[in-house]
C-alpha cells in the first residue's frame, strides 16, 4: 500500500462541502473517493488539509490517500481526472510515505473575493460576493492589520469542544483590482494566512471588515468587537461563494506549493 499526496482544485458550488456526507449528498471527498474506487477497485479514505464548507472553492487543497498501484503516478493522475466531474480536478500527484495533509501543514492561505458594482455580474456570481456600495479600502486594511499576530479569535469562530480560540495570523491584507478601463466593477481580494482557522472564521472576518468598509463600523468598533472575544452573530457571515482555499504550505515546500503564502495545522476542522 502506497500513500499518495495530491494537489486538488474544485468549484464547490454544487457540493455540500469537502467532508463526505450521507449517501446521495454530493461532497468533494465523496467524489474523489468514488473516482479512486472506479480506477483502482479499492476503497480509500481521502484526507484533506481543510474541510471547506458548502459552496467554498479551492485552488490549493491538499489531500492524501492509500492505494496499491503498480503503474506510474502520472497514469493514476490521468485516470482519476478522467473519472472526476468537470468541477473537480487533481493538479499534481506523487507518492509520499507518512504524509498527513492536515497535521504536517504549517500554514493555510484563504482568499475572499468581493465584487463592487451596481449591476449583477452573472458570470462571477458563483465566485464572489456582490456588494453594490463603494468600500473604504483604507479603513478595511486598517482593521485587517489588527488581526496580524497571535490573538484570541473567539469573536470570529468557535473552537472544537475544549479547544482554544488562539490562532496566529501571518497575513491579513486587502488588494483591489478594477475589471474594466473605467474603474468599474472593482474586485477586492482579501488574503489571510494563519496557523489555524476556527469554524467560519474567515467568513466572519470578511463580514466584519466589509461593515467597516461600508461605514457601518469604525475601525475602533471593529477592534473592540475583536478584543471582546464574543462570537459575532451568524448574520455577520460573508456568503461562502467568495471564499477559496488558495494553498497550503508544508516544511518541504512540496507538490502543493504553486505560489507563495500559507497556514499551519488547524488541529480540527479548517473552514472559512
**Domain 2-95 matches domain 107-249 at the CATH topology level:** yes
- What pLDDT sits at residue 185? 73
- What pLDDT sits at residue 164? 94
Q: Is there a catalytic annotation at residue 53?
A: yes
What three-state secondary structure class fits 127?
A: coil
pLDDT digits (tens, 9 = 90+) for 121-136: 899 999 999 999 899 9
**CB distance 43 to 79 below 8 Å:** no
Among the four given CATH numbers 3.30.70.660, 3.40.50.200, 3.40.50.9100, 2.60.120.200, the one describing domain 107-249:
3.30.70.660
More confident residue, 236 or 98: 98
Catalytic residue selected from 11, 53, 86, 257: 53
Per-domain boundaries in the chain: 2-95, 107-249
Please compute the mean of the pLDDT values over residues 30-35 and round it to a whole number. 98
Grid-cell match 466584519, residue found = 208
Cα–chain center distance at 165: 18
CATH class of residue range 2-95: alpha beta
Phi, psi torsion values for 66, nearest 5 degrees = -115, 125
Total number of residues shown for the chain: 272
Residue 30 has pLDDT above 80, yes or no: yes
Q: What is the pTM of this model?
A: 0.90
pLDDT digits (tens, 9 = 90+) for 190-205: 999 999 999 999 999 9
Amino acid at each position: 500500500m502506497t500513500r499518495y499526496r495530491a494537489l486538488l482544485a474544485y468549484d464547490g458550488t454544487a457540493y455540500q462541502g469537502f467532508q463526505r456526507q450521507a449517501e446521495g449528498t454530493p461532497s468533494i471527498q465523496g467524489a474523489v473517493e468514488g473516482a479512486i474506487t472506479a480506477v483502482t477497485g479499492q476503497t480509500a479514505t481521502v484526507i484533506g488539509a481543510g474541510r471547506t464548507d458548502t459552496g467554498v472553492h479551492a485552488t490549493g487543497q491538499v489531500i492524501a490517500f492509500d492505494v496499491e498501484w503498480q503503474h506510474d503516478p502520472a497514469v493514476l493522475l490521468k485516470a482519476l481526472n478522467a473519472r472526476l466531474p468537470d468541477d473537480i480536478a487533481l493538479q499534481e500527484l506523487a507518492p509520499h510515505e507518512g504524509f498527513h495533509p492536515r497535521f504536517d501543514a504549517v500554514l493555510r492561505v484563504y482568499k475572499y473575493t468581493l465584487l463592487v458594482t451596481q449591476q449583477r455580474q452573472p458570470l462571477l456570481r458563483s465566485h464572489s460576493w456582490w456588494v453594490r456600495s463603494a468600500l473604504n479600502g483604507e479603513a478595511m486594511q486598517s482593521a485587517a492589520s489588527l488581526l496580524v499576530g497571535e490573538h484570541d479569535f473567539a469573536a470570529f469562530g468557535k473552537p472544537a469542544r475544549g479547544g482554544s480560540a488562539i490562532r496566529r495570523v501571518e497575513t491579513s491584507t486587502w488588494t483591489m483590482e478594477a475589471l474594466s478601463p473605467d474603474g468599474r466593477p472593482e474586485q477586492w481580494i482579501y488574503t489571510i494566512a494563519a496557523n489555524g482557522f476556527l469554524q467560519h472564521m474567515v467568513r466572519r472576518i470578511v463580514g466584519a471588515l466589509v461593515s467597516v468598509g461600508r461605514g457601518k463600523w469604525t475601525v475602533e468598533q471593529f477592534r473592540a468587537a475583536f478584543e471582546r472575544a464574543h462570537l459575532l452573530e451568524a448574520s455577520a457571515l460573508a456568503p461562502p461563494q467568495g471564499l477559496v482555499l488558495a494553498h497550503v504550505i508544508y516544511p518541504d515546500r512540496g507538490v502543493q506549493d504553486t505560489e507563495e503564502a500559507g497556514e499551519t495545522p488547524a488541529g480540527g476542522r479548517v473552514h472559512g
